[in-house]
Amino acid sequence: MHKLISAQPETAAAALERELLPGALPKHVAVIMDGNGRWGEGHGMPRAYGHRESVEAVRRCVTAADDLGLKHLSLFCFSTENTGRPEDEVESLYKLFDDVLDAETEKLHKKNVRIITTGMLELLPGALSAKFDAAVKRTAANDGLQLNLCVMYSGRSELLAAMERLARAVQSGEFIIERLNERSFRQFLFHPEIPDPDLVIRTSGEMRISNFLLWQMAYSELVFTEVLWPDFCRADFLAALLEYQHRNRRYGKVQ
């Protein structure tokens, strides 16, 4: 993390925001929120403590995106691979999701944020899956920031599910295989209406995409930061946006 940000995050955020070009902000930012467990262990506490502390970073990120008028924010909350973690850690995460939905859904609704989910929520405990569904329904009419919570998500599983839906559509005669191209395939993804992320941020110093939005990230700009997610602040978010604005997006062409 830059010394200015770590020492004076509010001052750094104000300075960074002045540098941003409002007309060149990404429409869709996705975040791989990593480093919670290591943050907890680094503070002499259980990994679950880091997950609890991560909620404030989520609030900061959502608030910044909303303040800037971004259209879409996707957060990688829980992958199907995460179920392979120790049972007590997985259970603590389920409890955390439950508590956060109770505490935050109405607040987000009042801010005109629309919550959607991407993933196989049917694999969650029934009561928790129902609570996510309730949050989606509660905010369905909102037209502000669209907050996409990627829960029990796997990029490969999404592609397999899309191919299965495609095959069934061809089998039933609803889709003609000769129409298949990138645009038509998109309709079989979990949320074809959401634009591809312009910017993907990953925290904690890890430099991989971890099975996240594999189709959608084909031309996303990637920003990696060593900041562990619970420490991720508004200034870090703005710094990533500024880095994005300094990139030259060519989409494989020469400009």
Catalytic residue among 66, 82, 196, 211: 82
Q: What is the pTM of this model?
A: 0.94
- For 74-123, write each residue's pLDDT tens digit: 999 999 999 999 999 999 999 999 999 999 999 999 999 999 999 999 99
| CATH ID of 25-154+199-219, from 3.40.1180.10, 3.40.50.720, 3.30.413.10, 3.30.830.10 | 3.40.1180.10
pLDDT at position 1 over 80: no
**What would the pLDDT profile of 112-167 be if each residue is shown by its tens digit?**
999 999 999 999 999 999 999 999 999 999 999 999 999 999 999 999 999 999 99
What is the greatest pairwise CA distance in the chain?
61
Is 148 catalytic? The answer is: no
**pLDDT at res. 125:** 96
Q: Is 36 a catalytic residue?
A: no
For residue range 12-47, list pLDDT tens digits in order.
899 999 999 999 999 999 999 999 999 999 999 999
